[in-house]
Amino acid sequence: MNILTIVIFLPLVGALALLTLRKGSEKVVRMVALFSSVATFALSLPLFFGFDKTKGLYADGLGDLVQFEVNHPWIETLNIHFHLGLDGISLLLVMLTTFLTPLCIWASFGAIEKQVKGYYIAFLLLETGMIGVFASLDLVLFYVFWEAMLIPMYLLIGIWGGPNRVYAAVKFILYTLVGSLLMLVGIIWLYFNAVPGQHTFDLVTISH
C-alpha cells in the first residue's frame, strides 16, 4: 500500500480502535489517540525526506510536480478516480497537520473531561479529513474529504467548545454549507468545461 494512503487512513484506524474501548478507560483512550497521531507523524516523515525537490525546477504542469501518487478508478461511469498525490505546497500542509495533531491531543489531556472517547474519535477523524483534502487530486474525492472533515469539526465546536459553542457551531455549519454548495457548483462546472471534449474531475488533467 502506498505510504500516502497509510498516512491518510491511519488516524481513521485509531478512531475505530477507540470505538472498541469500554467506557471508563479514559486514560487508555488518551494514550491510543496520542499513539495514533504520533505514528501518523512518524510515517509522514518519509514523505518529507523522500520528496524530490528538484522536480519543480522542470515542471510543465501539475503532473510533473506530483509525487507519491496513487490513482485507481472509483466511479468509472463519471470518470471519478481515487487519485492522491503531493506537490511541494500540499506536502508542507500535510506535514503541518501531522505535526500539530499530536501536540493538540497531548495539550487536551487536562482539558477534556467529558465524553473523552468521543472527543478523540472526532479529532482523529478530523485529521484523516484534513490530510485527505490536502492530498486529493480528484475534485470529487477532495469534496468527499472536505465534507467528512466538517462533521467532526462541527462536533468538536458544538460539544467541547466554549460558553457560546452551540451558537458558534450553528454559525460554522451555515457558513461552510453555503461555501460547500458554491464549491460543488464550481466542481461541476469544471467537470463539463475545463477540458474541451472531455469530462473529468482530475486536477492533473485540468491543470494542463
- 3 state DSSP class of 52: coil
Output helix, strand, coil percentages for the chain, rounded to the nearest 5: 70, 10, 20
Residues 198/207, Cβ–Cβ less than 8 Å: no
C-alpha–C-alpha distance, residues 57 and 72, integer Å = 28
Across the range 56-78, mean pLDDT stands at 78
pLDDT reading at 10 higher than 90 = yes
Model confidence at 63, pLDDT cuts 50, 70, 90, reads low
What pLDDT, in 10s, does the model give residues 82-106? 999 999 899 999 999 999 999 999 9
CA dist., res. 167 & res. 169, Å (int): 5
Task: Report the pLDDT value the prediction gives residue 86, as an integer from 0 to 100.
Answer: 95
Average of per-residue pLDDT values in the chain: 91
Does residue 56 have a pLDDT over 80?
A: no
* Element (DSSP H or E) covering residue 188: helix 165-193
- 114 has a pLDDT exceeding 90: no
**Confidence band for 135, pLDDT divided at 50, 70 and 90:** very high
Q: Mind listing the pLDDT tens digit for each residue in 14-42? A: 999 999 988 778 899 999 999 999 999 99
In this predicted structure, what is the pLDDT of residue 198? 86
Q: Which amino acid is at 185?
A: V
Cα gap 172→166, rounded to integer Å: 10
Q: How much is the pLDDT for 194?
A: 82
Alpha helix ranges (H) inside 50-138: 88-107, 116-135
With left for phi above 0 and alpha for psi between -120 and 50, is residue 150 left, alpha or beta? alpha
pLDDT at 161 over 80: yes
CA distances from residue 42 to 39, 48, 95, 126, 156 in whole angstroms, order as listed: 5, 11, 10, 18, 25
pLDDT at 190: 93
